[in-house]
Amino acid sequence: MGATREPKVLHLAQVVVDLTMRVDHLPERGGDIFATENGISAGGGYNVLYAVRRLGAPAAYMGGIGTGPMADVARKALADIDVPAEGATLTDVDTGYSVAMTEPDGERTFVSTRGAETMVPVDSYERIDLVDGDVVYLCGYSFSHTSNREAIMRFARRNAGWGGTVVFDVSPMVETIPDECLETVGLLHPLWSMNEREGAILTARFGLEPESGSADGGMTDRDRCAALARRFDSPVVLRVGADGAWYGTPDGSVEHVPPYRVSVVDTNGAGDAHAGALCAALFLGRPMREALRLANCAGALSTTHRGPATCPPLDELEAAAATL
């Protein structure tokens, strides 16, 4: 991509395909059952891109994509929301997929494959020339795959000190991401976005919890957010579910972002909606406080519908945010 292009949200993560089934119960070993409902759709990082586009921001998928029936599903889904697939195309492997079986009580069981999205060439992101106004989205899942991890590390080193907006969604994989990778991503001074569990893992890993006899170390969500922002010398968003979120900066400032109350139907994809809406709002030039409120509303409202890609459009989010 040339340096004269228009800015956009650049998604450096993984788009996969979800094969979803609703079942009365899981099959016994060696058994065979029929699903009561089924579907096939793009998933993984697609859910973030869907939210970005719902807010009207331009975006590009820079991750790997394969060749085959699953890649065709992913490409069509991206094309349907006007997101070009500008990353590496692998001709000898298909895009990966996940089989998700959901029981009547909502419990989900997964079996996933690794495809082209996990095999990004290590030099894949070196051709990205960032421009003023770009927003870069990174995800912790990338560090679960050797070549993707190296590609992200090279990108971070090459663009250290860029000064633009980078959102790093640490993901549940934060428990196994090597310290070196976290420190290297830190060269970009991203906005670190995490949920309560992920925040607790990071504070424990970096020895940020105060000495205490209590099970949680006596640390409040506010304290945790502040400690992580100081440790990473970067802003931190700590998502706390129905209680909203905390936003902390390296200077010690911490602000609570109120929640938008809803009746929850399905929490699948709520974090993706939050991340995508946050990226889009920042791209559109919204102040951080407003961007976080829009993101909170996106995450909340996405849970009122079944499915992972259910972020509402910008006007609906603005109306909800105006009530906070």
Per-residue tokens: 210: 């105060």
CB 143 within 8 A of CB 149: yes
pLDDT of residue 63: 98
246 located within any domain: yes
d(CA 120, CA 132): 25
pLDDT of residue 214: 47
Per-residue tens of pLDDT for the chain, all 324 residues: 445 799 999 999 999 999 999 999 999 999 999 999 999 999 999 999 999 999 999 999 999 999 999 999 999 999 999 999 999 999 999 999 999 999 998 788 999 999 999 999 999 999 999 999 999 999 999 999 999 999 999 999 999 999 999 999 999 999 999 999 999 999 999 999 999 999 999 999 999 987 654 445 578 999 999 999 999 999 999 999 999 999 999 999 999 999 999 998 888 889 999 999 999 999 999 999 999 999 999 999 999 998 889 999 999 999 999 999
Distance from the Cα of residue 134 to its chain's centroid? 17
Query: Taking the alpha carbons of 306, 308, 312, 313 in that order, is the dihedral positive or negative?
Result: negative
pLDDT in tens, 102-148: 999 878 899 999 999 999 999 999 999 999 999 999 999 999 999 99
pLDDT of residue 266: 83
φ, ψ dihedrals at 223, nearest 5°? -60, -40
pLDDT in tens, 68-82: 999 999 999 999 999
Q: Which domain holds residue 56?
A: 9-319
4 located within any domain: no
274 located within any domain: yes
70 located within any domain: yes
1 located within any domain: no
d(CA 210, CA 257): 24
d(CA 93, CA 99): 18
Query: Taking the alpha carbons of 227, 148, 166, 154 in that order, is the dihedral positive or negative?
Result: positive
Per-residue tokens: 215: 């099970």
2 located within any domain: no
Alpha carbon separation from 292 to 60, 142, 256, 280 (Å, rounded)? 22, 24, 10, 11
Give the count of domains, the chain.
1
18 - beta bridge partners? 41, 98
CB 247 within 8 A of CB 254: yes
Per-residue tokens: 132: 């003023």
248 - beta bridge partners? 236, 254
Q: For position 46, which CATH number holds?
A: 3.40.1190.20
φ, ψ dihedrals at 34, nearest 5°? -105, 140
CA dihedral 198, 199, 201, 207 (to 10 degrees): 160
313 located within any domain: yes
34 located within any domain: yes
d(CA 277, CA 286): 11
Listed in sequence order, the residues at least 6 apart from 152 whose beta carbon sits closer than 8 Å to its beta carbon are 12, 125, 138, 142, 143, 181, 185
